[in-house]
A = this chain, B = another copy of it.
Amino acid sequence: MPSKTINPEDWLAALDESGFRVTTVQEILIDIFAHSEYPLSAEQAWDMARQSRPKTGRATVYRTVEKLENLGLIRRVHGYQGCSHFVPTLPELMMLFICLTCGRTDYLDSQPLENLIQHSEDASGHHITESRLQLFGACVDCQQNA
């Protein structure tokens, strides 16, 4: 069971290292994404940001989300009708499980996926530079409560 270590400080450092400014709004948004157990859309993040800072602009949130995605700090995940929701990216390649009942996310051991990708590269001849694996189903808790 891989530990989920997401540190907002690291995200701020990443912002800084990339030459961006560390602003209040971005701190708030980083905190929101880094601590969410569920995939969030830009719209949802905007709502949450305004709870602690009412005058936060919608466009700022969309721009920040885009920035965080470009920096590789968050990534899009599939939902039922699109993939406008984001989850934190973890340092290594990870497999993401999303519970269809409660929506909670869980990161699984990714070693099998690395092996699979290696195997697929060899078998197909394609050069694979990025992979997305999302698994859906019922989490341990929701299976028990069913």
Chain A interfacial positions (CB closer than 8 Å to B): 1, 76, 78, 82-84, 95, 97, 99-100, 106, 108-109, 112-113, 115-117, 119-120, 123-140, 143
Q: How many copies does the complex hold?
A: 2
Q: Which residues of B contact A95 (CB under 8 A)?
A: 120
Q: Whole-angstrom distance from the CB of A79 to the nearest CB of chain B?
A: 9
Q: Give Cα distance in the complex from A1 to B113, angstroms.
A: 20
CA distance A123 to B120 in the complex (A): 23
Complex partner residue of A83 from B76, B108, B136, B138, CB under 8 angstroms: B76
Q: For residue A116, which residues in chain B have a CB less than 8 angstroms away from its CB?
A: 112-113, 116
On chain B, the residues within 8 Å of A97 by CB distance are 120, 124, 126, 128
